[in-house]
Chain A
Amino acid sequence: MEPEYKMSSENLDFHYGDFKALHNVSIYFKPCEVTALIGPSGCGKSTFLRCLNRMNDLIPISRVAGKVTLDGDDIYASAVDVAMLRRKVGMVFQKPNPFPKSIFDNVAYGLWVNGIKDKAFVRERVEESLKQAAIWDEVKDRLQDTALGLSGGQQQRLCIARALAVKPEVVLMDEPASALDPIATQKIEELIHRLKETYTIIIVTHNMQQAARVSDVTAFFYLGKLIEVGDTDTIFTRPKKKQTEDYITGRFG
């Protein structure tokens, strides 16, 4: 086994009832790299992302076969504490989804549910996370205001801060900028650039320019299969597979 993989999936199959959504997906994620998952709608990239922190467990008719590892350990093993896993593998969703609570409470939430009660520590961590997510200056004077009063872009950065507050090791992002305007999108992308110094980031995106801008590695999914994965530069300039080339040149999808 090659060293230093943060996460991996090996021969991963995923079923929704009778429908097989993922076929035999094997992929390795290096630490402190950004991997972009691209592909047309319904190709399974979001489903795959949600396998990585067992978010698909919530769907009663779903079934997983194969292996997903974090630091070499199978996350689908029966002894695994799912809550603990999700603390380590955080997630940012497509639509900003702050809780209907104050800005402070949103970021502190993850700490509270993980049993951290020390008020000074929580306050410090909230500030640190908001700074990391590049939204501190915009909200520092109104931490007690409701998070629902923020703009869409601010809400998404707040959600990123919320995810960072529990110090995850991997951050999954499911089209984090698709509901945002270009300026907010740019802020999120800059943020991803800075965050990859600390975190392993896996991002699903519909936007190929975005994949090219933010990622080190790109994986192309089509019809539930991983078609090709490689350095982003290579994928976008010299893809090996015809399907990949057709997709990135805009011939379908």
Chain B
Amino acid sequence: MAALLVSKITEKSRSGIRAAETYTEELTMSKSDQALDDANVAYDKRRKLKQRIIFALFRGAAAVNGFALLVIIYFMVANGWRAISWEFLTQPPMESMTKGGILPCIVGTLCLSLGAIIAAMPIGIASAIYLNEYARPGKMVRLIRLGINNLAGVPSVVFGLFGLAFFVVILKMGVSIAAGALTLGAMSLPVIIGTTEEALKSVPDTYREASLGLGATKWQTIWRVVLPSALPGILTGAILGISRAAGETAPIMFTGAVFFTPRLPTSIFNEVMALPYHIYVLATAGTEIEKTRHLQYGTALVLIALVLGMNLVAILWRTRLRKRLK
């Protein structure tokens, strides 16, 4: 009997303990929930602040790009606009290049760029098509890619020396538009191949499958479906690559451009003046550097306008082609 009572009491107290346990558990739970909420509010504030700071930094980084371009353009325009005149754009340099214009340089740079496009685009696009569409992945392809990537890292002056040794001397082209354009073209090849490959990769495989599934050959598929879709990307890439090269001095100073020649080229084997080289000459090698300061800025302004103009054409062209595809 007593034993029973004891056991009942213990039973009761046990349940009491259990109840108390549950209660304290609830209590601590709600307490910790409260703590969690408090922590959350603070934490939430902190992480949102963190996000704001980081995005502000990123925004700043992005703005630096635009700012840099604006500063460069402002600097060029502010210093160079006085030099720009009809005469400046249509006359050759005169009186030991302290007066006159830069027409031969403009024509020379246009010829070199156009030649570089004609030389590099077919080779670059063909290489990219081979690498992306035909070649089976393997050692050979990896080797070629390695070569292309390294070509992109070769300093421009080395391209200049290569052009001098190979095109000018070995192939006997002399210092000429042909040699200069080929050197510039070689330099822009990695860019053209890279952007073309990107453009080809962005063409969905479903297009290729659909075409092959209809009995088209691989080449028909590439020519009729893949290339038209990739064309906007390819053209912009090519033009951007060339416009980058068009502003280079080192590759052309031994191969295509000369210090001074008043006459305009009549053949691709003529030597020419070129804008970047002309700036270099005026700024470093002239007899009266200070006196030609405004001409230097003017020439730089024309060069920048030419390059930006080429880029603008590329962008407009791409937009138009894309619209037609849609």
Query: A88 CA to B214 CA in the complex, in Å?
Result: 9
Residues of A within 8 A of B207 (CB): 97, 99-100
Apart from A86-B215, A99-B207, A113-B215: 7 A-B pairs, beta carbons within 8 A = A55-B212, A58-B209, A86-B212, A86-B213, A86-B214, A91-B209, A113-B211
Query: A95 CA to B205 CA in the complex, in Å?
Result: 12
A/B interface sample: 10 pairs, CB < 8 A: A60-B136, A83-B217, A95-B206, A97-B207, A99-B207, A109-B211, A113-B217, A113-B220, A148-B326, A162-B214
Are A60 and B137 within 8 A (Cβ)? yes
Are A99 and B225 within 8 A (Cβ)? yes
Interface membership of chain B positions 211-231, coded 1 if the CB is closer than 8 angstroms to chain A and 0 otherwise: 111111100100011001100
Are B214 and A110 within 8 A (Cβ)? yes
Partner-A contacts on B (CB < 8 A): 136-137, 204, 206-217, 220, 224-225, 228-229, 325-326
Chain A's closest residue to B322 (CB) is A100
Are A166 and B326 within 8 A (Cβ)? no
Query: A53 CA to B214 CA in the complex, in Å?
Result: 10
Q: Is A146 an interface residue (CB 8 A)?
A: yes
Are A113 and B210 within 8 A (Cβ)? no
Query: Could you say which interface size class chain A belongs to?
Result: 20 to 34
Within 8 A of B (CB), among A163-178: 163, 166
Interface membership of chain A positions 93-128, coded 1 if the CB is closer than 8 angstroms to chain B and 0 otherwise: 101011110000000011011100000000000000
Q: Which of B136, B213, B224 is within 8 Å of A91, CB to CB?
A: B213
Q: Is A87 an interface residue (CB 8 A)?
A: yes
Residues of A within 8 A of B225 (CB): 99
Are A55 and B214 within 8 A (Cβ)? no
Are A100 and B326 within 8 A (Cβ)? yes
Query: A146 CA to B224 CA in the complex, in Å?
Result: 16
Are A163 and B206 within 8 A (Cβ)? no
Query: A163 CA to B204 CA in the complex, in Å?
Result: 19
Query: A166 CA to B136 CA in the complex, in Å?
Result: 30
Query: A146 CA to B326 CA in the complex, in Å?
Result: 7
Are B210 and A90 within 8 A (Cβ)? no
Residues of B within 8 A of A87 (CB): 214-215
Chain A's closest residue to B205 (CB) is A58
Residues of A within 8 A of B326 (CB): 100, 146, 148
Residues of A within 8 A of B210 (CB): 93, 97-99, 159, 162
Tell me the minimal C-beta distance from B5 to chain A in angstroms.
58
Query: A113 CA to B137 CA in the complex, in Å?
Result: 27
Are B224 and A163 within 8 A (Cβ)? no
Are B213 and A55 within 8 A (Cβ)? yes
Residues of B within 8 A of A114 (CB): 214-215
Q: Which of B209, B215, B228, B325 is within 8 Å of A83, CB to CB?
A: B215
Q: Which of B212, B215, B224 is within 8 Å of A84, CB to CB?
A: B215
Chain B's closest residue to A110 (CB) is B214
Are A166 and B214 within 8 A (Cβ)? yes
Residues of A within 8 A of B214 (CB): 86-87, 90, 109-110, 113-114, 162-163, 166
Residues of B within 8 A of A55 (CB): 209, 212-213
Are A97 and B136 within 8 A (Cβ)? no
Are B213 and A163 within 8 A (Cβ)? yes
Residues of A within 8 A of B213 (CB): 53, 55, 86, 90-91, 93, 163
Tell me the minimal C-beta distance from A5 to chain B in angstroms.
22
Are A58 and B212 within 8 A (Cβ)? yes
Query: A100 CA to B210 CA in the complex, in Å?
Result: 12
Query: A3 CA to B200 CA in the complex, in Å?
Result: 46
Residues of B within 8 A of A110 (CB): 214-216
Residues of B within 8 A of A86 (CB): 212-215
* A93 with B209, Cβ < 8 A, contacts A100-B326, A109-B224 known: yes
Tell me the minimal C-beta distance from B206 to chain A in angstroms.
4
Query: A163 CA to B217 CA in the complex, in Å?
Result: 16
Within 8 A of B (CB), among A52-104: 53, 55, 58, 60, 83-84, 86-88, 90-91, 93, 95, 97-100
